[in-house]
Structure 1
């Protein structure tokens, strides 16, 4: 079976080193063929992004171009409906057949998974790869504890042998950086260097992002 494709969604407003290190760690630890960045158009669980879709797409492309193994999939930006993960996974499964898919998320997302749209169907179409601090044991409610007991694995080869259905906890030291922190820093006139790729920092300056209203 072909090596799995990783999928990392987000508003990417802006994309930063925390996103990129997670993508790189997942690719290296799990032997993924690539990681596709999926910028959201209308995130169901978050506020409307500060910058327009065209800018967030441009920044994701700049970051991917500077990072081997990363690509950008803009399908969610082309929708006018909320960016529900299940819709994206169903589309990709139809396109890719039985190739394994690994949807990458943070532990906070897994702990609130039962609030996601049609969450019970996600594992029918992909594996869930959950980034968390090494050595940290999460506390799930009863529903998610049962889900993890039924689908959890730490055998990466299972992610290669089957197209979907497993939950894998990825040891990934989290970087203390966030898009909110970067936006607020730019508004104050601070230099965001080393928090995101140079090409993205240059794009933010050239376009005047995060200095006023949404553009």
Structure 2
């Protein structure tokens, strides 16, 4: 069975994140590991710290079958690069297990700007999930070399199980999930209606710990 990872800051985790994880789980018939990023050095310290984000993830997926929180990036010093995470998983699981890294369609268009982005395909597959306002298309990057590279990797979702790495598959979401952590933080800071965008247990946690209060929506 493939190892499937879904990374992000999850600041905060919202219903869209959970819906994507469940859709990927069902489409690939696999356990999905949600991988919260370590505190990024370029982000404001007013966002929720790593411990809060991990706990909110645990609350968000409690009771969901085959969803797991994988805290490996929180335990690693330095920037949270996807290639380093996938290389670590590859060392743990060996050369033959399929690895799949889940990204949004918005990230697909920027993938050529990621750290060692082409090396991702040496250790894993990439599964791009539909996002509103972003074409789910390997031709999205402006650079022709990147477009050609990504299109050469296109495969079916079924093919992700048949090789350890190297493929790019697409997963539309109908309708695409439009929740945004940035927008939720802004709503919380402004005193607007935000609770319906996150799982109830996460809403309670945010209220108890007074996360993303006024002035924290940057």
Q: Same fold (TM over 0.5)?
A: yes
Ranges in structure 1 where 5+ consecutive residues have no aligned partner: none
Give distance in 1, aligned partners of 2:10 and 2:136: 27
Number of residue equivalences: 209
Give the TM-score normalised by structure 2: 0.88
Cα distance 1:114–1:63, how it changes in 2: closer, same or farther (>3 A)?
same
Partners of 2:73 and 2:80 within 8 A in 1:
yes
CA deviations 1:83-116 (Å, max 9, x no partner) are 0000000000111122211100012212111211
Give distance in 2, aligned partners of 1:84 and 1:48: 19
Give distance in 2, aligned partners of 1:174 and 1:42: 28
Give distance in 1, aligned partners of 2:66 and 2:214: 34
Q: Name the counterpart of 2:20.
A: 22
Give the TM-score normalised by structure 1: 0.89
Helix, strand or coil for the counterpart of 1:164? coil
Q: Name the counterpart of 2:207.
A: 205
Cα distance 1:133–1:114, how it changes in 2: closer, same or farther (>3 A)?
closer
Cα distance 1:42–1:82, how it changes in 2: closer, same or farther (>3 A)?
farther
Helix, strand or coil for the counterpart of 2:169? strand
Partners of 2:126 and 2:169 within 8 A in 1:
yes
Ranges in structure 2 where 5+ consecutive residues have no aligned partner: none
1:132 aligns with 2:130: yes
Helix, strand or coil for the counterpart of 2:121? helix
Cα distance 1:62–1:182, how it changes in 2: closer, same or farther (>3 A)?
same
Helix, strand or coil for the counterpart of 1:194? helix
Q: CA RMSD in A?
A: 2.1
Helix, strand or coil for the counterpart of 1:13? coil
Residue of structure 1 aligned with 2:93, choices 68, 91, 96: 96
